[in-house]
Structure 1
Amino acid sequence: MGKEKEQPASALRPEVEVPRILNECQHSVATHPRGIKKLVKCRAVDPDEFLRTWILCFEPLFLVSGREPVVERMIKFAASFTAYWDEVHQDDCEIFVENFLGVLLKWVDASHKAVRFRACQLISEVIIELPEDVPVADDLWERIISSMQRRMQDRMTSVRVFAARALSRLVTTDDIENDRTVLAYRQALKSDQRAEVRKMVVLSMPAMNATVADVVEQTADVSETVRKSTYNVLANKFRIESLSIMQRALVLRRGLGERVPAVRAMCVDMLKSVWFEKDCNGDVLTLLRYLDVETHEKEGENVMLELLKQGLDIKTCCTGGLRQFLPTGNETGPGEEEESSSYKLLDAEEALYWRMLCTHIHSEAEAKGSDAANTGGAEAVVNAAAAADSNDYLEEVLPPTVADYVRLVEAHVRGGPNLRFAARQLLMISKLMNFTDNTSRREAAALLHRLLNEVKSCESGQSLEDVVGDGLSLNGDESWGNSVAEFAHQVHAAPGELSQVLAASLVDHAGPCREGGADVLQWLHCLALTGLLFEDVDSLRDLEGLAIEAQEIRDSLLLPAVRHLHPEVQRAGVRCLGIYCCLERTPSRRGVEELIVTLSLSNRVYVQEMAFKALFDLILCHGPTAVDLAREVVQDSPDSLRQPGLQVAHLFFSNGDRHVGEHNIILRIPVVELLAGSFQPEDPVGKAQAVRPTTAAAVEGFAKLLLQGKHVLEIRRVQDTVLQRLICLYFSPSTENHPRLRQCLNVFFRAYCSQSDKNKRAISKIFVAVMRKEWPGICGNREKAGTVLAARKHAAEIGRYMLMLLQLPLMSNVETTLIPGQDEAVNEGHEELAIRIFSEVISLRQKTSMAGKTYIATLCRFCTLLEYRACQEEEIKCLCQLLPNVMENLPPGEKVLMKEFKDLQVHLRTLNRSPDKSLTDKEMRQIMGELSSIFSHPLILDDGTVFYQMYSEFTSLFVSFLSVLVSPVLDRIGVENYGEEPENVEVEDTPLKAPKTTGRKKASSVSQNTTVMQTPAPPSTRTLRKRPESLLSLAKTQAADGLSKTTVLRRNLDSLYESDNTGNDAVTTSSSGDEYEVGAPSKGKTGQKTNAPSGTSNRPTPASTTTSDIPPLDIPSCPPSRREDSSGEGNSGVVDEVDEGEDVATPLPVGRGRKSVSVQMQRMSNGDAGGLPSIRETNSSVSLTKANRRGKKAGTSQKSTRRTSVSGVVRKPSSVVNSSPKSDDDDDDDFAPLPPRRRMSSAR
């Protein structure tokens, strides 16, 4: 017997039994209960040895990160065994749980991600399966809570998921608002980017009143799995009473409006199975009372429709019908008041219920009747029978006669404002009634006459100044006016009959308004009747022969209403005047001018909004040309440049009194350009502003005009500016709380780009301008601390969206021209966008800053995603010639991007059908000029003002006028300096951002007799301040050549800028034709002073000849205050960033980072096409220049004698000044200069 007892004891040794049982349990879950019982007996023999063996056996599983079935099965088994509680071995179970969880808490903080994942998984499984009454030490719980909260911030998604699951049973209910677990859950819902984590948090959130709002908010999560889980939690954990009325309506609005079928099905299941059947016991009216249908009418309608679709018993619902609210025979009194009081009144839920039930039955009857008519045989018989049953149900629900229906409605109308909702629901049933016979129509006409002629009174305690809405829709309830209008059309369905009735009622109420003395309510009621009359006719000719004429309505009602002091009367008058102008054959001058004056004079935002809507509708009806001709405003061609105009955008946003002259001038501006200035200006600090109603109206109006761009050609004038603003508004933080506005823009952009290839090219045209405006740290955009990365992501998101718009397929009805054997010949703007991006990358000045590097890298990544087609031959050649320069400007370290660009280079070469031929400079300038046509349109600045560029003719006239003025001065000065060798002249320039050592204070110390050679500014950044000084030199040159001093042409002035200082360029040319510098100082060293003869004037002297063989482009100059070109193409692409207290025109020292004068001259002679270098530039010139600079840095270049003047400015040696000028054929090799090093010399 003793031997028989000793054998089981030896067999239960942990080091033997534990591995054997684990091997058995890893194959099937069915063996787990038996294995747990064996392990409990084994643990009772030696608990310490059992724990050591147990941990040793499970250690290999913690190194497996994959969700292998065997590993998952063993984790489940380990959790089940740890949570197993046996009363016989209670102490062993408690000790094992504490020891094993203690070991897992140490592994939770391991550096190996798989170990952390498995530890959190096992802890969560154990906590979920532990019984409620398990005695566990409080210290252990605190350690688990702290550890899991730390793992909620782990970088591994799976770790965060199981950490959130483990905390689900560790919530303290005493102070739920300040509980650490709930706070961690809320933080994860707000900031965690992974849908798996948010889903687990929603499933683990405790069901309490304090957490209902957090769960309801997740019904708008971006992930459909999270939304589906949220509706599951709301159905299983929360009763309908736990949610507020607003939360119930919000949940149903989002759920029943879902686009994902699985999520919507979950919401419908929650509504039908839980809220309707379980919480409301199958009573529809009770469910509607939970929703407060007076406030949330749309949600109540959706609930009724969904329940009817889900198989609600129609026969049971129709019991009683509306007839139960009619009086019986013995209740009818002799008088009208007694008869109306005998009707039973419906509450809001009952009225909505019967209206939706009648509408559903009527639609079912029509659908079944249509199916019966379109089919045959047995199916037709079945459909006809179903239609007959539906008609029978409808007759049971509706009142027996029209007279009973009219009296029921009249009883609710007499009930006052509290029964207004029920009366409106009954009025909407009128479309189901039959008004064919004269008796029923006479009864309904009497009710309509009472509704139209009864002037509503103010509510108790409300003054006339606080009245909102028109006469039929007081207090902003527009649905009541719409119901009355629908009832009127049902009663007077004959053509012209309703117009006569409305005209007669209008004559009765227009007397006090014409004679004076009418109060606000009378004005509003009269204008409401006028609006109904205008909406019933197709043109003003239909009003001929009625009780009141159209011109009388305009002169006696509409124009005085527009000038009324009360804002609601003014708003209603503007609305009616807009409809009146649309009904005219041609818009009248008086009406159009009154709308425009109201737009500029009114300080009421909602009056301005109505004026915007009226003007946009007027443009869509008659066209912008007809509207402008009505005001005698003559327009140029749609594609022509503008005359210099006024800054008009401030008229829409200033709060002060405006000068009368401004409004006289605003009447002379074309209507499209006037409305384009209505966009709300952005806050320069970058704060989110509330979107004004006028901005929302302008967005919707311009969206309509742009979609009708084929018929409204005048929109081309402001197309680029408007598109930029719409893109920025769509992604602006200020529109986050305006879903209707964002939905409008989303639908518009997709429809606009799918409409035609021209619209896609318009998006391509504004791409770079929008990116430059939104990218922080470049072109004067501010970098706010802590938001730079977010701003860059925001700008990149805008770029991805515009790229997606370019890749949308065109509509099927759009005709495309196909070339046999080639790809599509439709130009969608991809190649043009790539050229613009290449130009932006090459011409950007802030290449060395972090903002510039990230900006260039982001733009270049977009180029790799574009679609290039061989049919665009010239653009492909242009890209092939620009690509090497772009690759030179790529930020260092972008190896992946460089590889993609090399692949792109190979791809472009394959598309180039004639690689042996290259584009000339003239062809390149022509392409760049076509792509930079955006500058022919006005630019809306950040402060909302509209900037109009000047015509070249205006500039030419201005220069000629200056030449006449300075002729006497030239006679006194003479031409004694003509023909001398030009010295170094100081030219106003705004090059790279100057270092702090070259600021205003340092520049002021320069001697007046000292001149520093500077790179001349590009044509787009030149100002008229330089014009008179250069004009003197040009006039002297012409005088020496025997030309007239009073005739100075624009092309001569441009040639002066191209030839000025050409002799001062410190460059020479190698034998191979490549450009390199000689005698240039290294690392900030400057040259030697050039001794000028005494008496020589410091006035800049032009060179005797021009270096450019190509005639310059006639580019209009920008004003001095404009330091940033918001459009993006056509200038050098360089924007000056000037620190506070620093002069824009401060000259920089000539050093390693300076560009040679000949380079700038070459760019100006090329028309300043995006700041690009010469097209014939090769990589050898770039490498040669850099090698030469490295040689100068090492001391191999020629050393120049350094002399220092009294003022401390280092002069340039005369040998360098007298260097040979660079010819026009030389190439530019320094389009990406490095900034000069700030090393102080001994002279300083």
Structure 2
Amino acid sequence: MGLTKGSIEHNIRQHFSDAQVSTATHRKLVNSLLHIHEEQAERGLEEEIEFIKEFLRNIFKILPLKKKEPTADRIIKFCAHYIQHIQDKIKKSEKYKQNEDELEETIASRLVRSLFDHLLPGLESKDKYVRLRICQIITLVINCMEEIDDDLFQLLKKALEKRLRDKEPSIRVQAVIAASRFQNSEEDVNRDSIKKIFLHLIQHDSNAEVRRSVILNLEKNVETLPFIIERARDTDSINRRTIFSRTLPEMGDFRQLSIGKREKILRWGLKDRNDQVKKAAAKMFSTIWIEHVNNNLLELLERLDVINSKIAEDAMSSFFSMRIDVVKTITFDDDFWENITPESAFLVRCWNDFCIKERYTHLLEEKIPEISQLALYIEKILENFENSTDENKQELEFILEQILLTIKTTDFSDEMGRKKIFNILQNNIPNFIFSENLITHMVEIFQKIVSDERTYVKLLMEIILDLYDSLDIRTNKNKDDKEDTKSEDSFVSAVSSQDNAASYISIDSIIKRETEETSENHKTLIIFRCLHLTQVMLENIEKNFQNNFEFIEILHNLIIPSVRSHNAPIREKGLRCLGLYCLLDKKLAKENLVLFCHCLVKGHDSLKIEAIKIMTDIFMCYKYDIFDDSSTDLHSIQLLYEQILQTTSNLDIMATAVEAVAKLMLTSFFDDPKLLKTLIILYFHPETASNLHLRQILAYFIPAYCYSLPKNQFCLQKIFVPALHKLSQIFENLDDNEYISFSQIALQMMDWIDPKKLINCGTLKSQSQLPPSQETKANEDIYLYLARDICTQIAESYSKEKRTLCSLLNKLHITYATDEELAHSIQEIINTLLEENTLDTFTKNSLNKFSNSLYKIHKN
């Protein structure tokens, strides 16, 4: 005899009651419930429908439950488990195998259809928990179904498209998982397809979990790949980590990506600010990508284009950090060196750097050849250099650079090898076929071999002078002397020539055209190389060789004529060398300070940038001593920098000038509040929003400056109100979405003058046995001084600015007043403002409130 209706309801209810307690009993409960289901189905369709109704009734009980209710989650899992089990059992039955094509309905299909028919209308419910639970059920049930009939498919697709736009992020997450099954079945390309909605969500959804859900469920193909890779720059660190730990590895062979995409992926991952993201990117590169190339490191490097790559070095460093086994087992035999390629040279250099960093000295001694052997390999490369094509020359130069970088880290204990390298460098440093970068490495190794600085300078100057003498300058000396004695007007015209600025060419571009150069251009090439060697030499010495004859000869015959040259690159290089020379000789720096100022005012853009850098270095080096016996003083220099900041439209000049002023203010060389005001305005000015370099500099400088010394906060207090007023005038004619709100700027500036945030604030207070200086006292009352300035400005401001200033008054953290006279003067200003009767209600109330609070503080 079958079960009665009451007993069926009781049994099903008991199954669900047990299922909500623990998932451990789900398998047993599923088998038991299926037995009841089959028994009812055998009795007839009506009995089966009764079972389905009771089944659904128990599911509906959990729909209103909140998101983190575990009993609801267990019931949903039980429901999905049951449907999965019933489908699996039907497929294994003999009846199904014999009539697979004929069977249209089964107890599973009828249950699923009834379930969706009753659930789908609930997706329009106003209760967010009901919508969430229904989405969860649909997600789990869909994932355990192999096929869905067309009618149900369309109903589900339409319902889920709406939920993908639900206002609740948790519902959108579940809708994404469920809708992922519909990505490959788009029928109407003109409507918003699931894929299009996914692409919109992955880019624009404000919730990180929704974007992550799309990242994990979006179909990976050529169309969606750029959107997925873009998420490596997601604002959420978990999403960024997911890209490297799951999404990219799941996409298969990385070689299907273009070199540009590989470069971006590695750069974004390995340079990420989050350590977990870095680790995920490093693991992907060192385990997944290397497997795609059959653990062949050289092939992996070939896929990165190491010659032009900007991230390959970081990638290899992370690789060796993750794969110490490779570090210890890698070998560099004779065949490796005889057939060296850009990739293998890069590999050995990165391995060498890693071993030095991690102090694997025994591995270096075991695997890196002696310097004498490396010298032979260099000679072989140099022999092939002359007769190579431009492309091969680029590869050979890269190989040579990597070997030189490896040699630079050795101790040169091999005497024979040291002499060989010395001779190679001495013969090739003047060679025009090599780029500036390679020559720089050569000179640095040359300096390391010749450990005595005086000998190093002497030998290098001999090379420079021999190279310069090859111009046969002596025959044209009279002519050059005449040009040197021309009036300053000719120099001014040369400096200010904008046409010459446009003629700037790099040394590398000169080298490429050497075979077709005229004698004049060849002369330019030689001078440029001499200047570059001089620059590298000056950058690597510390002593002053002003009494050295060769030094003086280079200064007067090479550097000074180059500064006066009409050729833009020569002039800039000469100015840089002169600036470096001035860092070694204070007297020379004093003599040429006016010249650098002149270049800053009259020069073309790149010359101005060079002049700013040189002058800043000189001020950092000599401080105020530079103005002794000089026609220039500190005030005029500050005005000059301020003028550059206010008038230049060139973004690079502005960023360079801002960086220079920031350095000089941090070292207290500049102390003009006007300069600080200019920097504050530039930081918040809408037109500098695109100048990320400038914004980054100021984002570090301003808080560092204000929190370092009490006098710096007092300096900001002085220009607080004038800067705000200037910004209000700038923002007056702009749309609200074009700038930060005025009140936000005011609050940020107020935070910068907070005395509590001073570095070593506690230490300053503990030194109470010392008599307080004027600046310390001023800093204690800094908010009082600011309140006085604000109250004074209120009388002259328009209504919007008044409201902001008044609201700011009541946010000032004033707990006591050491300066009673100052507090009394503020009260008088407020009383005067209130008596004028020109203020609106809000302003009056704000002033009265502040006045009362100040009175209480003063009274206490």
Residue 447, structure 1, aligned to residue 414, structure 2: no
- Which amino acid is 1:734 matched to? S
Post-superposition offset of 1:499: 0.9
Q: Are 1:673 and 1:718, in contact at CA under 8 Å, matched by a contact in 2?
A: no
**Where do 1:754-833 residues align within 5 Å?**
754-774=707-727, 779=729, 781-784=731-734, 788-789=736-737, 791-793=739-741, 796=744, 799-800=747-748, 803=751, 806=754, 809-812=757-760, 816-818=764-766, 827=779, 831-832=783-784
- Which amino acid is 2:400 matched to? A
Match of 2:659 in 1: 700
Match of 2:100 in 1: none
CA distance in 2, matches of 1:325, 1:152: 57
Post-superposition offset of 1:28: 1.6
CA distance in 1, matches of 2:39, 2:817: 78
Post-superposition offset of 1:559: 3.5
Cα distance change, pair 432–759 in 1 and its aligned pair in 2 (3 A): same
Deviations 1:1165-1223 (A, max 9, x none): xxxxxxxxxxxxxxxxxxxxxxxxxxxxxxxxxxxxxxxxxxxxxxxxxxxxxxxxxxx
Cα distance change, pair 429–60 in 1 and its aligned pair in 2 (3 A): same
Q: Are 1:723 and 1:763, in contact at CA under 8 Å, matched by a contact in 2?
A: no
1:355 is aligned, of 345, 349, 368, to 349
- Which amino acid is 1:77 matched to? F
Cα distance change, pair 56–361 in 1 and its aligned pair in 2 (3 A): closer
Match of 1:734 in 2: 690
Match of 1:182 in 2: 195
CA distance in 2, matches of 1:316, 1:244: 31
What's the secondary structure of 2:644's corresponding residue? coil
Post-superposition offset of 1:472: 4.5
**Where do 1:642-657 residues align within 5 Å?**
none
- Which amino acid is 1:272 matched to? S
Deviations 1:720-753 (A, max 9, x none): 33331453369942134x4xx5444333334323
Match of 1:664 in 2: none
* The 10-residue stretch of structure 1 (865-874 or 26-35) with the greater mean CA deviation from structure 2: 865-874
Identify the structure with the greater helix proportion. Answer: 2
* The 10-residue stretch of structure 1 (300-309 or 699-708) with the greater mean CA deviation from structure 2: 300-309
2:236 is aligned, of 212, 218, 223, to 223
1:428 is aligned, of 370, 382, 405, to 405
What's the secondary structure of 2:287's corresponding residue? helix
**Where do 1:547-566 residues align within 5 Å?**
548-550=550-552, 552-566=553-567
What's the secondary structure of 2:608's corresponding residue? helix
Match of 1:264 in 2: 278
* The 10-residue stretch of structure 1 (401-410 or 672-681) with the greater mean CA deviation from structure 2: 401-410
Post-superposition offset of 1:569: 2.0
Post-superposition offset of 1:67: 0.9
- Which amino acid is 1:600 matched to? V
Bigger Rg, structure 1 or 2? 1
What's the secondary structure of 1:679's corresponding residue? helix
CA distance in 1, matches of 2:789, 2:149: 66
Alignment root-mean-square deviation, CA: 4.2
Cα distance change, pair 816–251 in 1 and its aligned pair in 2 (3 A): same
**Where do 1:54-93 residues align within 5 Å?**
54-81=55-82, 85=87, 86-87=90-91, 90-93=105-108
CA distance in 2, matches of 1:901, 1:819: 37
Q: Runs of 5+ in structure 2 lacking a partner?
A: 97-103, 481-519
Q: Are 2:203 and 2:227, in contact at CA under 8 Å, matched by a contact in 1?
A: no
Deviations 1:382-428 (A, max 9, x none): xxxxx5x4354245x44564653553564575553331111001111
Q: Are 1:753 and 1:808, in contact at CA under 8 Å, matched by a contact in 2?
A: no
Q: Are 2:320 and 2:354, in contact at CA under 8 Å, matched by a contact in 1?
A: no
CA distance in 1, matches of 2:76, 2:833: 56
Post-superposition offset of 1:288: 1.9
CA distance in 1, matches of 2:826, 2:181: 63
2:438 is aligned, of 480, 487, 503, to 480
Match of 1:292 in 2: 305
Larger RCO, structures 1/2 (Cα 8 Å, 6+ apart): 1
Match of 1:676 in 2: 642
Match of 2:608 in 1: 608
Match of 1:520 in 2: 524
Residue 151, structure 1, aligned to residue 152, structure 2: no
Q: Are 2:746 and 2:808, in contact at CA under 8 Å, matched by a contact in 1?
A: no
Q: Are 2:677 and 2:723, in contact at CA under 8 Å, matched by a contact in 1?
A: no
Deviations 1:149-188 (A, max 9, x none): 4333433222232233333222137899997333323333
Q: Are 1:256 and 1:302, in contact at CA under 8 Å, matched by a contact in 2?
A: yes
Match of 1:119 in 2: 134
CA distance in 2, matches of 1:188, 1:532: 53
CA distance in 2, matches of 1:259, 1:634: 43
Cα distance change, pair 435–114 in 1 and its aligned pair in 2 (3 A): closer
Match of 1:390 in 2: 363
Q: Are 2:710 and 2:755, in contact at CA under 8 Å, matched by a contact in 1?
A: no
- Which amino acid is 1:530 matched to? T
Residue 324, structure 1, aligned to residue 297, structure 2: no
CA distance in 2, matches of 1:42, 1:841: 88
Match of 1:1065 in 2: none
Residue 166, structure 1, aligned to residue 153, structure 2: no
CA distance in 2, matches of 1:193, 1:866: 35
Deviations 1:775-814 (A, max 9, x none): xxx5363455xx5256345872684476267477433499
Post-superposition offset of 1:54: 4.2
Match of 1:110 in 2: 125
Match of 2:534 in 1: 530
Q: Are 2:717 and 2:785, in contact at CA under 8 Å, matched by a contact in 1?
A: yes
Residue 311, structure 1, aligned to residue 324, structure 2: yes
Match of 2:517 in 1: none
Cα distance change, pair 857–431 in 1 and its aligned pair in 2 (3 A): same
2:700 is aligned, of 747, 766, 786, to 747
* The 10-residue stretch of structure 1 (486-495 or 436-445) with the greater mean CA deviation from structure 2: 436-445
CA distance in 2, matches of 1:232, 1:623: 52
- Which amino acid is 1:612 matched to? I
CA distance in 2, matches of 1:146, 1:883: 65
Cα distance change, pair 173–594 in 1 and its aligned pair in 2 (3 A): farther
**Where do 1:1035-1114 residues align within 5 Å?**
none
Match of 2:487 in 1: none
CA distance in 2, matches of 1:890, 1:150: 52
Q: Are 2:282 and 2:318, in contact at CA under 8 Å, matched by a contact in 1?
A: no
Q: Are 1:492 and 1:498, in contact at CA under 8 Å, matched by a contact in 2?
A: yes
CA distance in 2, matches of 1:825, 1:43: 90
* The 10-residue stretch of structure 1 (102-111 or 868-877) with the greater mean CA deviation from structure 2: 868-877
- Which amino acid is 2:676 matched to? D
Deviations 1:21-57 (A, max 9, x none): 2222111213333444525437745454445444443
CA distance in 2, matches of 1:424, 1:553: 28
CA distance in 2, matches of 1:721, 1:708: 17
Match of 1:577 in 2: 578
CA distance in 2, matches of 1:61, 1:324: 71
**Where do 1:826-905 residues align within 5 Å?**
827=779, 831-832=783-784, 835=787, 838-839=790-791, 842-843=794-795, 845-847=797-799, 855=804, 859=808, 863-864=810-811, 866=813, 868=815, 871=818
Count of equivalent residues: 780
Q: Are 1:258 and 1:264, in contact at CA under 8 Å, matched by a contact in 2?
A: yes
What's the secondary structure of 2:654's corresponding residue? helix
CA distance in 2, matches of 1:901, 1:789: 33
Deviations 1:980-1001 (A, max 9, x none): xxxxxxxxxxxxxxxxxxxxxx
Match of 1:496 in 2: 454
Q: Runs of 5+ in structure 1 lacking a partner?
A: 327-343, 367-386, 457-470, 474-478, 639-669, 683-688, 916-1244
Match of 1:649 in 2: none
Match of 2:15 in 1: 21
Q: Are 1:680 and 1:692, in contact at CA under 8 Å, matched by a contact in 2?
A: no
2:547 is aligned, of 544, 566, 569, to 544
Post-superposition offset of 1:221: 2.4
Residue 8, structure 1, aligned to residue 21, structure 2: no
Post-superposition offset of 1:507: 1.6
Post-superposition offset of 1:570: 2.5
Q: Are 2:644 and 2:657, in contact at CA under 8 Å, matched by a contact in 1?
A: yes
Q: Are 1:731 and 1:798, in contact at CA under 8 Å, matched by a contact in 2?
A: no
CA distance in 2, matches of 1:257, 1:890: 54
